[in-house]
Structure 1
Amino acid sequence: MKRVYPRALEALRSVSRHDFVSGSDLVPSITGHSIPREETVSHILSLLPEIEPDQVVMHVGGGSGYLAAVLSGLAHRVIYLEKNAVVAEAARERFFRLGMHNVDVLVASAEDAPEPDPLCDLVLCTTFITERHVLARLVRQGGHLVCLEGRAGPVPSLAMFVRREAGLERVRTLGWVDFNRNVEQILIDQGLVDDKILAEAKAEAAKQNCRLLEVLRRKLNLEEMDLYRSLASQRGMTFTDADGILPELHPALFRRFSRTFLDLSRLIPIAEEDGRITVVTDDPDARTDQLERLSPNQVVDCLLVTPTDFRRLWSALDLTAKGRNFVADHGPGPEQSDHANGSTDQLLGNDPKSKHVSPYLVSVYEAILLDAVSEKASDIHIEQYGDRIRIRLRVDGDLHDLPQYQLSPREIKGVINVIKLRAELNIAEHRLPQGGRSRLQLGDMAYDLRIQTQPSLHGEHAIIRLLPQTGRAMTIAELGMSPMIGARYQRLLDNPAGLVLVVGPTGSGKSTTLYAGLQTLADDGRRKVITVEDPIEYSIDNIQQTRVRSEIGFGFANAMRAFVREDPDVILVGEIRDQETALEAIRASQTGHVVLSTLHCNDAVDSLQRLYDLGIHPNSIAGELLAVIAQRLAKRICKHCSQPAEPDPVILSEVFPDGPPADFRCFEGAGCDKCNGRGTQGRVAIVEYMEVDSDIRNAISSQPPIGELRWRALDAGLVTMRDSALDHVIEGIIPLSELPRILPRERMAPEVRGGRRSQQ
C-alpha cells in the first residue's frame, strides 16, 4: 500500500474521528461510508493525487463530515455535499465548533448541486452515483474526479477520471477501499459502548467462553431483534427472521457442506437459484469468501438473523438430516421381523425396559422448546389425531401450529418418552395422566417446565408450560393496571392483617398479579413474606417460598399452621381449594397476618358465594376480607403498529345499548414485523376490583342472594371488568374486539344498580 504523503498524514492526525462519531443526530443514517474508519481515510488519501494548499476540493456524500474535515487541512476550500439535511446540519455545527471555516456545506444531491465558483480541482465521491457524468460539470478542465465503481458492497474500487473538453476520461483504477466497520466499531459509533465497556465485555466473553455480541446485548439490555436489525442496516445486509425461511429450507444444500465448516463460519445455506446461493448468519462480521471458493461460479448472498433464529434454522435442518439417517438406519421395512421392530422401539425410546433414547428424538424435543422460547410461548401442545401429529404453541393466549415438524406416530411416541424421562415420569404408564416438571437452561435464562401427559383415543398428548425463572417478577407498576387500582392494591399490602383474593379461571394471570405484589414487597424489604405453592411458578429473591408435597402429607393447610409460628408479615397461599385451607387462611388473617390467595370463580362477587360453599361463616368472611380482584387477560395492541380503528358496530351496540359517547375512540394493530403481523404483542390484565367497606361487610354478614350482593357492591363502588376494559380500549391498550372474549354477554352493557342502569 502507498504511504500517505507528509501533509496528508499531518492533516489526518490533526482531526479526531471521535469528534465526528455519532450522536442522536446521526444514529439513524450512519454507515461506513458516512463515517469511515481512520485507516480507511488514510488509505483514500494515499490513493488520491496530492492536494495542493491553493486548490478547491469537493466531497460528495459528506456524511458525518470526518473526511471533509481532514481535507480542510489540505485544501484552500472544501465543499461538503450531502443530501440528508439532518446529517448535513449536524456536520455544519461540528465544522463551526472545531473552527474549520474553510468548509462550505451544501445540502443537495449530486444531480441538483449548483456549480461552484471557481470549479473544483478535485471532486471525491464516496457514495455510489449511477450516472457519474453529472459530476463532470463540477470539475475544472484538467481537474480530477475520483469516485466509487463496481458493485455497491463494502469493498468497492476507487477510480480516477480527468475532465477534458469531450467530458470525463478514465485514467485508472486507484485501488480497493474497505468501508466496512466491524461490530465493535459500529457500537462505538452509535454511542452504545465506549472502550472501557468494550474491554470489560471482551474479558467477560473470554471467561464465559461465549460471543462478545451476546455479552454486550445483556450488559446494555438491548432487544435482540432491534440490535440485529440495526447492525444489518449498518453493514448493508438484509435482515430477516426464521418464520419466513423455515417453510422454504433446502436440506440437500445444507448437507452439501461440512457441518464443522458451517458451524465455525456461522453460516447456513438455505436456498440456491439461478447461480446464487443464499446463506444466513447471526454474525454481522461473518465472511463468505471461503464459501464462495467452495462454490465457484456462484454468487453468495448473506442475510442476517438473530442468534435465536439461527439456532432454530440450524435445528430444523439438522433434525431433517438426522431424521433421514434415522429412518434409513432403523426404520422398519415390510420384510423386518418382530425382533427388528423391537430393536427400533428401543432406539425410539418406546421400549419401557430401555433407558436409551435416540439423540434424534432428543434433538426434536429441544428444537420444539427452542421454538417455544423464541416465540415467547406460554405453553406447548403435542397432540396426535390418528396418523396426524399436531404441535402447537400458545402465544398471547392463542394457539398456532408449528408446521415444520412432520413427525410420524412412532416418532411422536419417542418424543413423549423423552419428555417423560426428563420429567422423571413413568414411561411404561400410558393409561393414566401424569404430571411432573423439568428445567431448561438457555444461555443465562432458565425455565421451569410444568409437564402434563394425557391419554387420548389415538395416543398420549403432552402439554408443557414454560415458566421463566429470572429471580424477579413484575412489580405492581409493571402490571398495566390503572393507576387507581394499582395504588389500591399497593395499599392492601401495607395493611396489618386481612385476606386478599385474586380470582378468575385457569390462565387468567392470577399468579402473575399475586407475584407482582410479592415482588413489590421483596423490593421494599421491610416485611417478611412466606409462600406455599403448588408448584412454585416463579422464583423470587428475598421471598421464602415453599412447595406443597402431598405425597408426604404436607398440604396448604399444614403449611399455614406452621407459618403462623414463623413470625411472617405476609403469607401467600397458592390456592384455596378446600374448607381446611380456607379456615386456616381466615385464622391466619385473624392472628395479624396479610394473607394473599387465589380462588377459581368468575368474578369478585362470585368469590363470596364460593367461600360460603366452602363452609366459611359469613361473619368471618365479613371481618377478614379486605378486597377481591377478579381478572381476565386481554391481548395488548402492538405499540409499534397501533393505529385508530373503526369500531365494530355489533360490539358497539352491545357495549352501549343507548348509543356510544360522542368522543368514543378505539385502536387496533395494523400488523408489523415486531408482532409477526398479528397486530398484538403480549397481554394485559383486565380487572374487576371490589374493596370491602362497611356496607359490603353488612351485606356479606346477612348472606343475601348473589344478585342482590352484586348490586350492593355496585352501589358501594365496585370497579367492574367492563369499566376497566373500556378504559384500556380508549387509551389504545387493547382492541375493542377483545371485549366479547373477556366479558360474558350480560356484562357487556352497563349493569343495573339497585334497579336502575349504571352510568356509561
Structure 2
Amino acid sequence: MNARLSEHQVAHIVDRIDRSRFVASPDLRHVISGRTIPPRNAMRHLLTLMGEVPSGARVLVVGGGSGYLPALMACTSDRVCVLEKEPAIAEIARANLARIGLERVEVRVGRGEDGWPERSARFDLILSVCSLDRLDVLLDQLSEDGFLYTLEGPEREHPVLIQRQAGAEDGAPRALGTVIFSRSSSQILIDLGFVEPAMLDRAREEAHRRHEPVLAVIRNRLGLEDADFYRTLARQRDMKFVGADEVLQRLDSELFHRYSRTFLDNRRVLPVSLGDEGLVVVTDNPDLSQDEAMGMEACGRVRCLLVTPTDFRRIWSALELTERSEQMLSWSESPSEQASNQDLLELSKNEISHYLVSIYEAILLDAVSANASDVHVERYGNRIRIRIRSDGELHDLTHYRLTPRDHAGLINVIKVRAEINIAERRLPQGGRSHMRVGNTNYDLRVQIQPSLHGEHAVIRLLSQTGRVLGLDELGMATTVAGHYERLLDNPAGLVLVVGPTGSGKSTTLYAGLQQLADDGRRKVITVEDPIEYSIDNIQQTRARPDIGFGFADAMRSFVRQDPDVILVGEIRDRETALEAIRASQTGHLVLSTLHSNDSVDAMQRMYDLEVLPNSLASELRAVIAQRLAKRICPNCRQQVEPDPRILRELFPEQVPSEFKCYEGRGCVDCGGRGTHGRIAVVEFLQVNDELRDLISRRPAIGELRWRALDNGLITMRDSALDHVIEGIIPMSELPRLLPQDRMAPEQRGGRRTAT
C-alpha cells in the first residue's frame, strides 16, 4: 500500500538528517558537485514531487554522492541500495552513513546503466540523480508497480524530475517538475571545506563593515589565488571559467552601449557577444541567477561565463576604451619628416586626458591579471609597443593601438602619477607611485629613459600585501633547504643571497624572514629599498637616500635597537659592506643580497668593495646563488625525447642510462606556453674552516672555485639537473641558466675547467 508524504512529513524527514554531517572532503573538489551534497530545499522539493512512497519500500539510489540523499531515503524505506561510480566518493558515503548509524544503507561502486549487480534484485523505487545513457536495465529491475525517477534536462542545476512506472509502455515518462540544485557560493565554500559556518558569519560582518563582497573577504583570509578560487566556484556552479584574454578576443562593443552602466555594475555582468548561441555575458558574481541574466536580452538564451574580479575590471576598461577608439585611436599621423619637427609632448587637448588615464589604468590591470613583474611602454618610430614581463618572459599586449601622440600623452600620465618632472625629457628619471586593485596594494617603481624616438617607461609592480612564500614553497632541494634553515639559527655571521636582477633573491630572503617571524623568539629589523612585502612581527624600515638615510646609515642605527637578525636589502657600496661586516662582528646575524654571477664570484665582489679578506673569512657563513627557471605546467606535463645538442653539452662522456626529461605541451591553464610560474635553481656554498683559511689569503677565483667543489659546493648544474629529472623544469632551460663552461660536470681535486 502506498502512502503519500505530507509537507509536514517531508519537512520532518529533512530536519531529521543533519546535512553538515555529509560535507565532503576538500580533496575531492574536482568530483564533488551540487547533486553530491544537494541543498536542503532541493531535497524537500524532490520528496514532495515524488509524493507517493511505497510502505516498507526497497529503494535504489543511483549517484548517491556523499550519502546525504540515501540517508533521507532511508527515513521512509526498509532498505536503501546505492550505486556510485566514483570509488573515492563511495568510500566517503560509507563513512558518513556509518557515522550516523544508518546500517540499512548499502553502497556499491558501479555504473547506473548497468543496474544493481544482483540481476534478480527488484526495487519498489529507483531514483537516479545523474545523467544516464540508457534506462532499460533499471526499468527491468523495478518491482511490479514500481517507479523510476530520473533527473533530466540540459540545465544541470535545474533538472526536471521524470517519473516512469513499471509495466507501462516504453516507460511512459511523466514530468513532475523542476528541482533546483543550485547552491549559493557561500554554501559551496562550506561544502568544500574552505570555511566553517562561524567563519562565514564573521566574513559577512566584515564584508558589511567594509562594503566589500563576502567572497573577497573570504579569499583574502584564506590567501587563495583568484584564478584557483573562482575556477573552483565555476565548476561547482556549472559555469565556464575563462580568462580576460579569451574574452577580449570576442568582445562586441555595440552590446555594451545598449545597457546603462549602473545596471551592469549593480548586476556585476558585462555583455560579450550575441549570436547563434544566444547572449554571452561575463560576471565575477558566481551567484548571478539565470533569471537576472535572461532579462538582459529578448533572445531567451543566455550563457554566463565566470571571471575573476580583476579580469572583470579589465574587460570593463577595454569596453570603455573601445567606445571611443574609433575617434581616439585611428588618427592619421603626419609624414615622418614633419613629425620630427613637431613636439608631440605639448598636449593641449584636455578632452583626451581622461582617456589616456583610462589606458594607463587598463594596462596596469592587464599586468596585475597576468601576475606580471614589469610593464614596458616603448616607441619605435610610429610603432608603439606595450609589453609585460610574466614568468620572466616579455609578452606583447596587442589590443592597444596607440599613436605617437597617444604615447607622448601616456608617458606624461605615467610621469605625473610617479611625481616625475614632465618638462625634463633629456635625462633618465625615476619615481614611484601606488595603486590598489581589490584588496591588494601595489608599489610602482617607474623609470623613464630617453631614446631615439621618444621616452620609454618601465614600471615595476611590487605587491605590498601579497603572500610571502614559506621555505617549503621555494622549491629548494631538501638538502639546501635544510642548510638554509640552519643558517637562520646562527647567532651571528653574514649570509649572502646573490644573483642577477630579477632572480628571486628577495623572495628567498623573505621566506627566511617569515620563518623567523613565525618563530617569534628573535628580534628582526630590515632596511629595504623598497619594502616589497609587509610581514607581521618584523620591524621593516625603508632606505631614503634622497634625505641622507641609506643602507649604511640604517645599519649604524640598528645596532642600538638590540636586534638579533638584520636584513640589508642590498650591499651596493663599500660603506654598506663594511657596516654589514661590523654588525656581524658585534653578534648579529646579517642577511643581504649582492649582484654577482655565482657564489664564488660573490667573494671577488666583496674584495672589490674593499672588505678585508680576514674580516670576510671570519664572518661569512654561506653564499646562496640563484637564478629563476620556468616551471613546467603540471596540467599538461609530458615526457619527451631530450634535445641531443643539450645532452652532448651536459654529458660529454656518457649519458646516464634511463635519463628522462619533460615539458609542457600547452593547455588553457598555462596559456599554451607549457610553463606556468618559476622556481629557483640554487648554488649553495657553505663556508668551512678550510675555505675560511683560503678566503683570508684572497686566492685567484679559479682556485677558490675548485677548492669549493672539493668542499661540497652544490652547483647550479646539480640543482638544475635535479629539477629536470623530477619533471619540474624543461631541459631547454639549462642553456639559459648555465654558461657553456658549466654545462658539463666540473672537475675537482685541483683540475678545473676553463673559466
- TM-score category by the smaller chain? 0.7 to 0.9
Q: Which moved further from structure 2: 77-86 or 33-42?
A: 77-86
Q: Which residue of 1 aligns with 2:605?
A: 610
SS in 2 for 1:460: strand
Q: Which residue of 2 aligns with 1:363?
A: 358
Summarize deviations over 1:71-113 as a string: whole Å, max 9, x none: 4443455554544454445445555665556656565444422
Aligned counterpart in structure 2 of residue 598 of structure 1, from 589, 593, 597: 593
Taking the aligned partners of 1:141 and 1:525, their CA distance within structure 2 comes to: 72
Aligned counterpart in structure 2 of residue 190 of structure 1, from 174, 189, 192: 192
Q: Which moved further from structure 2: 46-55 or 278-287?
A: 46-55
Structure 1 residues 724-739: aligned runs within 5 Å: 724-739=719-734
1:403 aligns with 2:398: yes
1:320 aligns with 2:315: no
Taking the aligned partners of 1:604 and 1:246, their CA distance within structure 2 comes to: 45
* TM-aligned CA deviation for residue 208 of structure 1: 1.3
Taking the aligned partners of 1:144 and 1:493, their CA distance within structure 2 comes to: 69
Summarize deviations over 1:190-220 as a string: whole Å, max 9, x none: 3333332222221111111111122222333
Taking the aligned partners of 2:132 and 2:265, their CA distance within structure 1 comes to: 38
Percent identity over the alignment is 56
Letter in 1 for 2:748: R
Taking the aligned partners of 1:438 and 1:686, their CA distance within structure 2 comes to: 32
Aligned counterpart in structure 2 of residue 699 of structure 1, from 691, 694, 700: 694
Q: Which residue of 1 aligns with 2:47?
A: 45
Q: Which moved further from structure 2: 637-646 or 260-269?
A: 637-646
Q: Which residue of 1 aligns with 2:461?
A: 466
Structure-2 change in CA distance of 1:470 and 1:135 (3 Å):
same
SS in 1 for 2:183: coil
SS in 2 for 1:756: coil
* TM-aligned CA deviation for residue 466 of structure 1: 1.3
* TM-aligned CA deviation for residue 567 of structure 1: 4.5
Summarize deviations over 1:235-276 as a string: whole Å, max 9, x none: 222222222222222212222222222222222221222261
* TM-aligned CA deviation for residue 543 of structure 1: 3.8
Q: Which moved further from structure 2: 190-199 or 487-496?
A: 487-496
TM-score by length of 1: 0.87
Structure 1 residues 425-444: aligned runs within 5 Å: 425-444=420-439
> Are 1:642 and 1:668, in contact at CA under 8 Å, matched by a contact in 2?
yes
> Are 2:347 and 2:409, in contact at CA under 8 Å, matched by a contact in 1?
no
Letter in 1 for 2:267: S
1:157 aligns with 2:157: no
* TM-aligned CA deviation for residue 672 of structure 1: 3.8
1:373 aligns with 2:368: yes
Q: Which residue of 2 aligns with 1:229?
A: 231
Summarize deviations over 1:351-381 as a string: whole Å, max 9, x none: 5899997232222222222221221111111
Q: Which residue of 1 aligns with 2:571?
A: 576
TM-score by length of 2: 0.87
> Are 2:59 and 2:125, in contact at CA under 8 Å, matched by a contact in 1?
yes
> Are 2:604 and 2:701, in contact at CA under 8 Å, matched by a contact in 1?
yes
> Are 2:706 and 2:752, in contact at CA under 8 Å, matched by a contact in 1?
no
SS in 2 for 1:598: strand
Letter in 1 for 2:434: R
> Are 1:25 and 1:90, in contact at CA under 8 Å, matched by a contact in 2?
no
* TM-aligned CA deviation for residue 418 of structure 1: 1.8
Structure 1 residues 535-684: aligned runs within 5 Å: 535-662=530-657, 664-684=659-679
* TM-aligned CA deviation for residue 733 of structure 1: 3.3
> Are 2:5 and 2:51, in contact at CA under 8 Å, matched by a contact in 1?
no
Q: Which residue of 2 aligns with 1:686?
A: 681
1:454 aligns with 2:449: yes
Taking the aligned partners of 1:119 and 1:475, their CA distance within structure 2 comes to: 57
Summarize deviations over 1:503-531 as a string: whole Å, max 9, x none: 32222233333444444444444444444
* TM-aligned CA deviation for residue 327 of structure 1: 6.4
Structure-2 change in CA distance of 1:236 and 1:353 (3 Å):
closer
> Are 1:155 and 1:176, in contact at CA under 8 Å, matched by a contact in 2?
yes
> Are 2:124 and 2:146, in contact at CA under 8 Å, matched by a contact in 1?
yes
Aligned counterpart in structure 2 of residue 720 of structure 1, from 715, 730, 745: 715
Letter in 1 for 2:499: G
Taking the aligned partners of 1:549 and 1:468, their CA distance within structure 2 comes to: 20
* TM-aligned CA deviation for residue 748 of structure 1: 1.3
> Are 2:491 and 2:587, in contact at CA under 8 Å, matched by a contact in 1?
yes
Q: Which residue of 2 aligns with 1:248?
A: 250
Structure-2 change in CA distance of 1:229 and 1:756 (3 Å):
same
Taking the aligned partners of 2:725 and 2:514, their CA distance within structure 1 comes to: 29
Summarize deviations over 1:474-524 as a string: whole Å, max 9, x none: 454543333433343444444454443333222223333344444444444
Taking the aligned partners of 2:669 and 2:416, their CA distance within structure 1 comes to: 36
> Are 2:5 and 2:52, in contact at CA under 8 Å, matched by a contact in 1?
no
Taking the aligned partners of 1:227 and 1:414, their CA distance within structure 2 comes to: 38
* TM-aligned CA deviation for residue 303 of structure 1: 1.8
Q: Which moved further from structure 2: 498-507 or 80-89?
A: 80-89
Q: Name the Cα RMSD after superposition.
A: 3.6
1:239 aligns with 2:241: yes
Taking the aligned partners of 1:392 and 1:500, their CA distance within structure 2 comes to: 36
Q: Which residue of 1 aligns with 2:481?
A: 486
Taking the aligned partners of 1:149 and 1:721, their CA distance within structure 2 comes to: 58
* TM-aligned CA deviation for residue 311 of structure 1: 2.2
Letter in 2 for 1:219: R
Q: Which residue of 1 aligns with 2:208?
A: 206
> Are 1:136 and 1:167, in contact at CA under 8 Å, matched by a contact in 2?
no
Q: Which residue of 2 aligns with 1:500?
A: 495
Structure-2 change in CA distance of 1:9 and 1:700 (3 Å):
closer
> Are 2:377 and 2:386, in contact at CA under 8 Å, matched by a contact in 1?
yes
* TM-aligned CA deviation for residue 389 of structure 1: 1.6
SS in 2 for 1:722: helix
Taking the aligned partners of 1:61 and 1:321, their CA distance within structure 2 comes to: 49
SS in 2 for 1:295: coil
Letter in 2 for 1:629: I
Structure 1 residues 327-338: aligned runs within 5 Å: none
Q: Which moved further from structure 2: 102-111 or 661-670?
A: 102-111
Letter in 1 for 2:307: V
* TM-aligned CA deviation for residue 744 of structure 1: 0.8
* TM-aligned CA deviation for residue 453 of structure 1: 0.9
Taking the aligned partners of 1:281 and 1:626, their CA distance within structure 2 comes to: 53
> Are 1:472 and 1:540, in contact at CA under 8 Å, matched by a contact in 2?
no
> Are 2:434 and 2:444, in contact at CA under 8 Å, matched by a contact in 1?
yes
Taking the aligned partners of 1:689 and 1:118, their CA distance within structure 2 comes to: 68
Structure 1 residues 86-97: aligned runs within 5 Å: 86-88=88-90, 90-91=92-93, 94=96
Letter in 2 for 1:215: V
Q: Which residue of 2 aligns with 1:263?
A: 265
> Are 1:471 and 1:541, in contact at CA under 8 Å, matched by a contact in 2?
no
How many residues get paired? 743
SS in 2 for 1:455: strand
* TM-aligned CA deviation for residue 401 of structure 1: 1.3
Structure-2 change in CA distance of 1:163 and 1:633 (3 Å):
closer
Structure 1 residues 253-332: aligned runs within 5 Å: 253-274=255-276, 276-324=278-326
Taking the aligned partners of 1:457 and 1:221, their CA distance within structure 2 comes to: 45
> Are 2:329 and 2:403, in contact at CA under 8 Å, matched by a contact in 1?
no
